[in-house]
Amino acid sequence: MHTDKTLPPAKQIPEKERLILALDLPSSREARDFVELLGDSVSFYKLGLELFMAGGYFDLITWLLERGKKVFADLKFFDVPETVAKAVRQLKNRGVSFTTVHGNDAMMEAAAAEKNDLKILAVTVLTSLDRGDMDDLGFQCDVEDLVLSRARRALKLGCDGVISSGIEVPRLRTELGGHFLIVSPGIRPVENRLTDDQKRVVSVEEAFRNGADYIVVGRPVRNAPNPKEAAEKIQKTIASVFSSS
């Protein structure tokens, strides 16, 4: 594990793109307004199920791409493998950078087989789940062990990386190396860690020191009195982490 807090070898990722803003808003119009509010403080956006169900999802993707933004379509595909493959086939030529699959080996393999330039990220264990939740779901194993197992299988099946809490990232890097992508959600300022439904959380600096390539941040920016200022503060933290490595 990276106990000395030395960053693993960095991939060639522009620092500003390492922050992925979770655009979890009720409508496409509100999403566009928020993007305009943030301006150049954010260049990578995650679009999830709420916006997908709100309508105008693909128009919003096009609108973001036209403004030079990158898009992560976080749709967590989980269905019979052929349906997952067809869903990825529909998505892969739309200019999206990342998407997620949240299924078994056959589903992950089907998604990876259709990806082209679209990066497939396997969800390991949702950051809203802790040891008690895993017991309730019937997983009689340690969370970290399950994350490692799912990540190892995903990479073997052709996925480009994983979604993982920053807590488990050091072991992933130690066991599996640095060649694959790790995107870490559940990023919280220390003072906000106990105020919402995310349970396995780390700070911005901890996530990158542990070996994450990207972080996903939502509420700490969206709910801030000045969202653009909050995003810029995170960007400054990211810059300081990599400049000191």
pLDDT at 28: 97
pLDDT at 191: 42
pLDDT at 245: 62
Classified as helix, coil or strand, 135 is: helix
pLDDT at 129: 47
Class assignment of domain 15-243? Answer: alpha beta
Give residue for tokens 């078994």: 104
In order, the DSSP letters of 139-178 are --S-HHHHHHHHHHHHHHTT--EEE--TTTHHHHHHHH-S
Q: Measured between alpha carbons, how far apart are the two ends of the chain, in Å?
A: 16
pLDDT at 10: 63
What distances in angstroms separate CA 173 from CA 1, 60, 80, one per listed residue?
Answer: 8, 34, 30
Give kind and range of the element (H or E) at residue 208: helix 204-210
User: What residues of the chain score a pLDDT lower than 50?
Assistant: 1-4, 128-129, 131, 133-134, 137, 190-199
pLDDT in tens, 139-197: 556 677 888 989 999 999 999 999 998 888 999 999 999 999 999 998 865 444 444 44
Classified as helix, coil or strand, 101 is: strand
Please check whether residue 184 is in contact with residue 215, taking contact to mean a CB–CB distance below 8 angstroms: yes
Q: Which of 220, 237, 228, 238 is nearest to 18 (CA)?
A: 238
pLDDT at 187: 83
List own/partner pairs for 201-207 with CB under 8 A and 24 or more apart. Answer: 201/127, 201/165, 201/166, 201/167, 202/165, 202/166, 202/167, 204/234, 204/237, 204/238, 204/241, 205/237, 205/241, 206/166, 207/166, 207/169
Amino acid making up residue 122: A
Q: Please tell me the distance from the alpha carbon of residue 149 to that of residue 126, in angstroms, as a whole number.
A: 14
Q: Which of 79, 85, 90 is nearest to 110 (CA)?
A: 85
Catalytic pick from 5, 11, 70, 76?
Answer: 76
pLDDT at 11: 80
What distances in angstroms separate CA 47 from CA 25, 132, 166, one per listed residue?
Answer: 9, 29, 21
Q: Please tell me the distance from the alpha carbon of residue 30 to that of residue 32, in angstroms, as a whole number.
A: 5
76 is catalytic: yes
pTM of structure: 0.87
Residue 225 carries which DSSP code? S
